[in-house]
Structure 1
């Protein structure tokens, strides 16, 4: 396991996927066998049964290209192990009872890579949904703990650009 690979995966999760919270707490959908990846911000990513795959959009080959870097779920879990915020976020997620609770587990639009690109309606819908304050808090905790876990991984020269990226993206 290289620290660069794990660090970059944590940075990707902190900055891009709409379902990072679900990934963090272990709600990982089964691999459907579909090749198509997702993309958000500067990242392309895909979830498989055994791993999280990611790549910078600058080098990624497109929608049907498999992201080239892979980190197992066990490696990601180990990177955040012991952080009490994981249990806090998991407890919040498990407390959701609405039929469409999946909406609450999605990243709020204001915390996406380009929040200004969303029509104001999306932001209003987020903020008027019951439990908004708790959802926002859970997502802020998720992003913070992923960034903190990335910062704790050992420094290697090729990782310095990712650390600069994290610092630039912090509001």
Structure 2
């Protein structure tokens, strides 16, 4: 195969792969939400979840300027405070959506707390935690899926504590 044919072949492969649609487990994983606007997402079908605050919450909070993170290894029960966020408007606690043990914190938030505002679901996650199998299998009954969360926001948009 000549150099120009090889180049055209490589270009065709790149072009072809761009046109394909791939669904990976990471893209398709569903988020679950609390009434206090934290979100949870499974990580690769293990018992590890990633936790952050919703887009609604970061918008209501305003520009986040500081994030106090827990220590790795900390065991927390559902509804216990796992992080504190300071914004130009207020200080807000983040509450654990499920019982778990902190396995990782987003170190980037120590110097770039505004990642929570810029990308609350991707780069602005706050912690990762190991949860029990029973919580993993029962997540839909404990938390709201995306559709139910949107309904919850709509229903409570005029509530004072929302």
Q: Normalization by structure 2: what TM-score?
A: 0.28
RCO higher in structure (CA 8 A, sep ≥6): 1
Structure of higher CA gyration radius: 2
- Greater strand percent: which structure? 2
Q: Normalization by structure 1: what TM-score?
A: 0.27
